[in-house]
Amino acid sequence: MTDVAEGSAAGVDESVVDARGHVPGESSMWFFVIGDLLIFAVYFVGYMYFRSQHQDLFLQSQARLNVDIGAVNTVMLLTSSLFVASGTAAARAGNSANALRAWAIAFAFGAAFPLLKLFEWIPEISAGLTPGKNLFFMYYFVMTGMHLCHVALGLVIMCFVIRNLKTSAQPKISLVETGATYWHMVDVLWLVLFALLYLMR
């Protein structure tokens, strides 16, 4: 594993890139993304196992979640990812002004996610649906909480990308691509979480 990661890190700046196709962003970020997806996959398998053990409890508890806010949040993240993609394309084409605008809009949609999460969590917690209620709510708060940490880190990374686009005459494309890679991962994780926790019957 270590050798593979180092080997590809050394190769990115060399001519290997042209031969094998371009690796977007920094390769260490791809190491992170793939590992993070694996870790979440293990958590999802654990969730599915315990769900099959207590199917009725999980179904009854799931019915008390706020699917509307969950769906709106899904749309927020997907829209945000769309603007990230178009912003990255604009940055590659050398159009910094368009890239900056797209990333700023993407940031606004991304920042709406934690706010909506508050409107979702506070009524639930005040209604007594806390992590201590049962196993489903423990999973719900731990997994969405972990995802929220990823969103928070993603917003910080977006600020760095926006600063890069705003202040430098020659923006670092690798930083833009690294940020985009991370943000798309946050999006993918949410899609799986939304399906598993809110929708699966």
Partner 1 sequence: MSGGVATVPRSGSEPAKSWRTNRKLDQWIAFWSVPFFFNLFGLVFVPLSWMMPPRSPSSPTPRIVDFMHSHNLLIACVILTLAYGLAPVSNACYLMQVKRMSVSPAFRYSMMVGAMTGAIVGMLFPMFCFGLGAFRPGYSTAVLTMLYDFGYLAFIGSLGCFCVMWMAFGLAIILDENNILPKWLGYYTIWQYVTELMAAPVWIVKSGPFAWNGLMTFWFAMILYVSWQFIVYFCIFKAIKNQPESEFA
Show the site string, 51-90: x = touches partner 1 by CB under 8 A, - = not.
----------------------------------------
Reduce the secondary structure of the chain to three states and give it as a string. Answer: CHHHHHHHHHHHCCCHHHHHCCCCCCHHHHHHHHHHHHHHHHHHHHHHHHHHHCHHHHHHHHCCCCHHHHHHHHHHHHHHHHHHHHHHHHHHCCCHHHHHHHHHHHHHHHHHHHHHHHHHHHHHHHCCCCCCCCHHHHHHHHHHHHHHHHHHHHHHHHHHHHHHHHHCCCCCHHHHHHHHHHHHHHHHHHHHHHHHHHHCC
The verdict on 132 binding partner 1 (CB under 8 A) reads yes
Tokens for 115? 């706010």
- Residues 173, 22 contacting (CB under 8 angstroms): no
Distance in Å, CB of 52 to partner 1, minimum: 13
Q: Count residues binding partner 1 (CB under 8 A).
A: 23
Tokens of 88: 């990255």
State which residue, 42 or 169, has the beta carbon closest to partner 1: 42
Kindly tell me which of 128 and 132 has the beta carbon lying closer to partner 1: 132
- In whole angstroms, the minimum distance from the beta carbon of 43 to partner 1 comes to 7
Q: Is 48 in the site for partner 1 (CB under 8 A)?
A: no
Find the shortest distance in angstroms from Cβ 12 to partner 1.
12
Comparing CB distances to partner 1, the nearer of 31 and 95 is: 31
The full length of the chain comes to: 201
Residue bearing tokens 């049962």: 134
In angstroms, give the least distance from the CB of 76 to partner 1.
23
Can you tell me which of 69, 112, 116, 146 binds partner 1, judged by CB under 8 A?
A: 146
Region binding partner 1 by CB under 8 A among candidate stretches 70-78, 96-104, 108-116, 135-143: 135-143
Question: Contact between 35 and partner 1 (CB under 8 A)?
Answer: yes
* Contact residues for partner 1, defined by CB under 8 A: 2, 5-6, 9, 26, 28-29, 31-32, 35-36, 39, 42-43, 46, 50, 131-132, 135, 138, 142, 146, 149
